[in-house]
Structure 1
């Protein structure tokens, strides 16, 4: 199969390619296809037992199936098998066959649409419009037809923001809707949804179910939905298939008949059977944590209070103006000792942002956050300065904050800091100086209650999403904090693990902690002592004065990339530190000129700061080269400085240019202007997109370390060591993200795409020529310096 990009975009060629694609898929794209699963067995690498063992399943064309089972029963794995993706990102032993319409699913890209369990990890573009269009590019739809299809898909799922908006600004529920739009836009014959409403409020979840039902009925699709809670889908499906903990089919038939016959046994396995009362939270008696902050404030008294808090999120689309999203505006919130508060409201209402502000994880743009005096650093004896009594929690040191506050993030994977599951839970107690033996007993009790004891020595990054969320819950309460913040703690849990998570929250509350949870879970809401309903604040009107664009933002990505690559010969051209200094001066001047933003409108902020931030990690490499050259070059400063300047001359252009390299636009240019093959182009642009999001991931990791009590607050050496550790975590996280990204891309037809169109054009303009000329000017300055300077 050819993966070459299309060369032309005239109307007749794309229409011919699209017709060819439609003919290859099925007689009618509006009709569902049958699915046959025969003797399917899958054992992931490193597991002694298979997740799926000899599964046989037949789905008729147009059939609507609800797939249920306890956590770990293999539901998500079965969906990936039907989509033909089991070996995309995972290694293991696979046997048996899966066919869709009589063919292997990967043979007809776009025939199966899959919405993954963690939709945020599968974003493939830096704007929501290009993310939705990604599947259309893979099925060779003409560029002129993409905007209307993308707009219709976004409208169907209720995403009303501009297609240029960054996915990073979306809430968890909005990310789920984006993933659903990405699947629906391809008009698949089989639609697979992995917990599509787990993080949505009741109204939005109902809307999404209605959208799915309408699309499935109108297009006559075959549908398979995985959900822990069955009641919302019973009116939209005609078949219920249940897997047990071993991955075997134990019930299959008309939904209400299956529930009538097997309801009690299914509930006992952990399935949320409609009509069966929610389980009671697990009763958990924990050994008191030594030196715990919980209990220092009398029951019912305020632990933390937010007054008129305003939280803003700023984002910038590459080369475009910055945007400010108002997440919380003028909101009050109190958390009281021994009480729990549930924050509820639609997706995007600011629940997570308000929680983060209350716990000192973010600095509010306005308003105030106060902690009870017995919990402040001065009163706890860590520091005696009177001013510390008045400092808001966002200014506290890592250990001061960790002693009082704990956090279960919405993306539990970002909270992992230990080598093993047990090490992860012990991290904060040991960082706070708790007795290892006493803390160990408390940790073991938490792991046992949450069903993680058998995984105590496992790598936490290898756990499932539900297991990682329970691990984050254990780590949050292990040291007895006074304020427990839990963001959607019960998502992805069955009845049994839900009872365990709820029991841990109740145990923390009984110890005297104030517990704040964001949730769409009615059971969690019913258990709360107080419910606060939030709604999305009205957004401020757009600034009537447009933001000026820097000169670099006016050049295309291919020209910028070429300009940055022009410096590659510099190490061979530069012999002395004087030559390096001269070339560096030219680069700095050209870079400053490129950052200028002439013309009417507002000046863009943070241009030079962003470049310096990108250069900060590179400075470690420069210092390392200088040190090595000094040692190996007879401790000659000229040799050391010359080597350091050569490296710096290589890095500066990239630091200036990379902030203006739009990944999608670069892919458009590489494929259409240089005629490069589609697969390496998309892989490179996806990697660049992830690289440019590293600052966000870095911030999440540093926030995790701060609230876990292990972030370095003093000393350049300590901070340097921490930077190395976090960089390692960043790389590990990037590998995990790459695996999820590969799965998401192939779920939208990328792996087997025979031809590919591109949603954006690739013009070459005067600014491109000037940018390339600037790169050549750097080389000319190097040649001149070599001739004129000793």
Structure 2
């Protein structure tokens, strides 16, 4: 098999010829960018279908295509956050079980066992997936695969983002899965040592995507030790390499006062569909932090303890308690800086390096910040090429950075952060996904940055990086507060999604058929009374907060549309005020029910009801529900794009108002590109859990039609009755 992705001149995999027998446990290794993740996707049958490119050869599982039988092959993606398919933990793990037709009553036990196997047994099944940390999300993806009990298990660096304890829990779960029955296991990892007792076979890919070694793991390690070390493989027992000696002048840093922070906390608010919000302490820095020029400060702690959150707060992206606790020097607060000044003060390498990509060419990505700060000369271009060469990326200078492997993207983010010489570098897991050579290159650049007078703050689980630190800050997950008393549920939240959707649509004929502004005003009044009734929350306990604010915010675009429509009608209809008022109020009638009802519409439940009650085809219904579930993430993606552009110096500048329009245009295009790529990754994740070939699908949740649904639809008819009666 040979595979050349669209947009790449050379194949990523070349003439790969492998036979894996049932029950084999295989460790797949190779230098960063050698095609390991691509080979796993080939084993799921996703190359040439979900992913575009030129495929020569074929892959079969037990004589058939990899997707011929749903649930046969399970894949955990390298960036598992892209594979979250549901809003809650329980439903996400159960997604594969639905695709293989497991009866509903059997799902909860399987889901709980799978979560416990990866160390997430303490989570409630209705925990929002959006509230999980990166490490927790990685374990959630593994739980979703384990729940399927697949014949072939493919794991792409499943412990890369985990602390040693959590990583050991995951390996134990994988080992138990591999020993129980004849399942075939293929694991991609850079660090071999912890896996050698769990696997029997070692397959090695070269930098150009060829199989160069294949055999019993201990025999290959013994016979090819020096060759593997020369390729950059993390051979067990070999000491870590020395950091690469970087040529003088390649890294520069503006020597500036330290980045300092007294002890502070960061709170996270999670908003639920029922209108309630839960605020908890997401991260806590217990000791003062001072990142001084020439030093390396590390944040260490268990997965989910808030290290990434603390780094984002140090960059000024998140509010802290007390406010404005983080400073660069004596007076500068990162949160108060505009884009160019923030880029001059610090740089940021996030946990998922793909989130800071702002261009469509690797070389442009490295140069982006320098260009934004006015440094686009020949010397800067030369240093950019040399940085890429040091990190093994020079041959990819013309490639699209979004098409690089995870390890390559992380090195690119390091290069892009260092070229303009920031005084402070904030790096989240800068060495994850690196082979020995690229690890040494990354550490060499960090050392060179420190030698030039820069400060580095890194969140990491890498013991070799921690051992080189000048200061180590240990973090622990803040204690979880007791659950608040349950709030009363509004009447509208007790209705099913089909009733909500149908009642919202009833506003359209009511608005169209309303004859005159006086009658339309009566229709609006009827809708307001019914809306107040729908939002009422009878019962004991505290009431749900922010009901009116939620409706008001959702109604604002509709009111703006009503006002502009009325004005344009008045202007074009001979300044007839009656007609203008009628048209404007009709728009209000159409949008008001949606503003009241749509906020309570759960996409997952909507999918359940469309398929189970209306009998619509499973595949488009589930795909639509999954897509709608991602709509609520658009705000977070927009914020992430804004952070990436701001810290790269290309966001909004207070001194240049024209940057507002440029920023909005670029952010909108970035949101579109990110959405399309997220949709592709979501399709990969869904199909890897049997969605593409599901023949008989079951459902995690029932889809009942209750008396309250009937009552809601009947009440929703009242405004239409008023409008028709008036005619």
TM-score, length of structure 1 as denominator length: 0.85
Which residue of 63, 76, 79 maps to 1:102?
63
For 1:678 and 1:597, the matched residues in 2 are separated by 34
Which deviates more, 354-363 or 739-748? 354-363
Structure 2 counterpart SS, 1:114:
strand
Within 2, Cα distance between the matches of 1:313 and 1:349? 13
Structure 1 residue 278, shift from structure 2 partner: 1.8
Most deviating of 210-219 and 362-371: 362-371
Asked whether the 8 Å contact 2:488–2:543 carries over to 1, the reply is yes
Aligned to 1:231: 193
* 2:153 matched residue in structure 1: 191
From 738, 762, 770, the equivalent of 2:711 is: 770
Residues 1:549 and 2:549 are matched in the alignment: no
Measured against aligned partners, the alpha-carbon deviations of 1:276-334 in whole angstroms (never above 9, x if no partner) come to 232222333475899x6x3022xxxxx22222311121213323743333222362233
How far off its partner does 1:352 sit?
1.0
Q: Distance in 2 between matches of 1:716 and 1:653?
A: 38
Task: Report what 1:689 is aligned to.
Answer: 629
In structure 2, the residue matched to 1:112 is 73
Alpha-carbon distance in structure 2 between the residues aligned to 1:306 and 1:47? 45
Q: Distance in 2 between matches of 1:570 and 1:722?
A: 40
Q: Is the 8 A contact 2:328 2:334 kept in 1?
A: no
Structure 1 position 310 matched with structure 2 position 265: yes
1:500 aligns with 2:451: no
Is the CA contact 2:135–2:304 (under 8 Å) kept in the aligned structure 1? Answer: yes
Q: Does 1:515 align with 2:456?
A: yes
| SS of alignment partner, residue 310 of structure 1 | strand
From 166, 170, 174, the equivalent of 1:212 is: 174
Contact 1:319 1:554 (C-alpha < 8 Å) held by counterparts: no
Distance 1:745 1:492, change over 3 A: same
Structure 1 residues without counterparts, runs of 5 or longer: 1-39, 298-302, 378-391
Other structure's SS at 1:670 match: helix
Cα distance in 2, alignment partners of residues 45 and 628 from structure 1: 48
Deviation at 1:717, TM superposition (A): 8.2
Query: Aligned-pair distance for 1:67?
Result: 0.7
The DSSP-based 3-state class of the residue aligned with 1:394 is helix
Are residue 444 (structure 1) and residue 385 (structure 2) matched?
Answer: yes
Distance verdict in 2 for CA 1:60–1:779, change over 3 Å: same
1-structure distance, mates of 2:499, 2:578: 35
Pairing partner for 1:133 from 90, 94, 98: 94
Deviations 1:235-269 (A, max 9, x none): 11111011112221110111121112212222222
Structure 2 segments unaligned to the other structure (5+ residues): none
2:256 corresponds, among 278, 291, 296, to 296
CA contact (8 A) 1:73 1:243 kept: yes
**Structure-2 separation of matches of 1:464 and 1:337:** 32
State the distance in 1 between where 2:396 and 2:132 align. 33
* Residues 429 and 585 (structure 1), Cα distance of their counterparts in 2 relative to 1, 3 Å cut: farther
Alignment partners' CA distance in 1, 2:668 and 2:517? 30
* Superposed CA RMSD: 3.0
Distance 1:622 1:516, change over 3 A: farther
Residues 24, 183 of structure 2: 8 Å contact kept: yes
1:80 and 2:36 correspond: no
Aligned equivalent of 1:54: 15
Q: CA deviation at 1:469?
A: 1.8
**What is the rounded CA distance, in whole Å, between the counterparts of 1:640 and 1:526 in structure 2?**
73
Equivalents in 2 of 1:132, 1:622: separation in Å? Answer: 44
State whether structure 2 residue 613 is matched by structure 1 residue 704: no
Matches within 5 A, 1:705-720: 705-712=645-652, 719=660
Contact 1:336–1:514, Cα closer than 8 Å, also in 2: yes
Alpha-carbon shift at residue 687 of structure 1 (Å): 0.8
Q: How far, CA to CA, are the matches of 2:565 and 2:308 in structure 1? A: 43
- The 2-side partners of 1:693 and 1:495 are apart by 36
More moved, 393-402 vs 744-753: 393-402
Q: 2:340·2:653 contact (CA, 8 Å) conserved in 1?
A: no
Matches within 5 A, 1:625-640: none
1:635 CA drift (Å)? 9.3
Q: CA deviation at 1:417?
A: 1.8
1:607 aligns to what? 547
Is the CA contact (8 Å cut-off) linking 1:558 and 1:669 kept in structure 2?
yes
Residue of structure 2 equivalent to 1:14: none
In structure 1, the residue corresponding to 2:203 is in which secondary structure?
A: strand
Q: Aligned pair in 2 of structure 1 residues 370, 91: CA closer, same or farther (>3 Å)?
A: closer
Task: Report whether the alignment pairs 1:538 with 2:479.
Answer: yes
Matching residue of 1:677: 617
- Paired residue secondary structure (1:105): coil
Contact 1:307 1:367 in 2 (8 A): no
Alpha carbons of 1:573 and 1:707: their partners in 2 closer, same or farther (altered >3 Å)? Answer: farther
User: 1:372 and 1:757 mapped to 2: Cα distance?
Assistant: 55
2:402 is paired with a residue whose SS is helix
* 2-structure distance, mates of 1:509, 1:588: 63
Q: 1:203 to 1:402 in 2, by over 3 A?
A: same
Of 238-247 and 89-98, the range deviating more from structure 2: 89-98
The answer for the alignment partner of 2:670 in structure 1 is 729
Contact 1:308 1:368 in 2 (8 A): no
TM-fit CA distance, 1:60: 1.6
Contact 1:577/1:645, CA 8 A, preserved across alignment: yes
Q: Residues 251 and 455 of structure 1: is their aligned pair in 2 closer, same or farther, counting only changes over 3 Å?
A: closer
Q: Is the 8 A contact 1:556 1:768 kept in 2?
A: yes
Matched residue SS, 1:329: strand
SS of residue in 1 equivalent to 2:242 = coil
Q: CA deviation at 1:133?
A: 0.3
Alpha-carbon distance, 1:660 to partner: 1.6
User: What TM-score, normalized by structure 2, do the two folds share?
Assistant: 0.92
Cα distance in 1 for partners of 2:170, 2:74 equals 16
- In 2: Cα distance, 1:653 partner to 1:222 partner: 53
Deviation by residue 1:327-348 (Cα, 9 ceiling, x = unmatched): 2236223322211111111101
Once residues 528 and 357 of structure 2 are traced to their aligned partners in structure 1, the CA distance between those partners, rounded to angstroms, is: 40
The residue number in structure 1 matching 2:144 is 182
What secondary structure, in the 3-state scheme, does the structure 2 residue paired with 1:357 have? helix
CA distance 1:503–1:576, change in 2 (3 Å): farther
Residue 242 to residue 764, structure 1, CA distance change in 2 (3 Å): same
- The aligned counterpart of 1:364 is 320
Contact 1:286 1:445 in 2 (8 A): no
C-alpha displacement of 1:572: 4.4
